[in-house]
């Protein structure tokens, strides 16, 4: 099974190969997964996600992470299905603002 290492540091997720960095607030791991697929990574590849050397999540394939986003309400966060956004502000959502 192929695995990619993702390092979390504050609000930044970093992958070294391919070199992709996602900064910001919210579902940065889910955003990273979608960027990895856009970069041609096999969706079956597992992500090893660590913060300070500690494993943060079970190993899941890129495709599973890419299919999720985070819903936050009342200071609680829940993983929910990702629905691609199209329309006004789409470029801002994709980081091209």
Q: What is the pLDDT of residue 92?
A: 47
**Cα–Cα separations (whole angstroms), residue 59 to 8, 41, 46:** 15, 16, 6
Instruction: Note whether 26 and 47 are within 8 A (CB).
Output: no
Q: What is the pLDDT of residue 89?
A: 52
For the chain, residues with pLDDT lower than 50 are 90-97
Closest C-alpha among 96, 92, 37, 26 to residue 64: 37
Q: What is the pLDDT of residue 50?
A: 97
For the residues of 30-66, what is the DSSP string, one character each? HHHHHHHHHTT--TT-EEEEEETTEE-S--EEHHHHH
Q: What is the pLDDT of residue 87?
A: 63
């Amino acid at each position: 099974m192929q695995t990619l290492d993702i390092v979390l540091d504050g609000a930044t997720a970093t992958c070294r190969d391919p070199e992709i960095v996602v900064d910001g607030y919210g579902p940065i791991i889910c955003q990273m997964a979608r960027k990895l697929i856009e970069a041609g990574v096999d969706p079956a590849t597992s992500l090893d996600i660590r913060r300070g050397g500690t494993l943060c999540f079970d190993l899941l394939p890129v495709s599973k992470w890419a299919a999720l986003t985070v819903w936050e309400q009342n200071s609680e966060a829940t993983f929910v299905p990702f629905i691609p956004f199209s329309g006004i502000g789409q470029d801002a959502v994709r980081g091209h603002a």
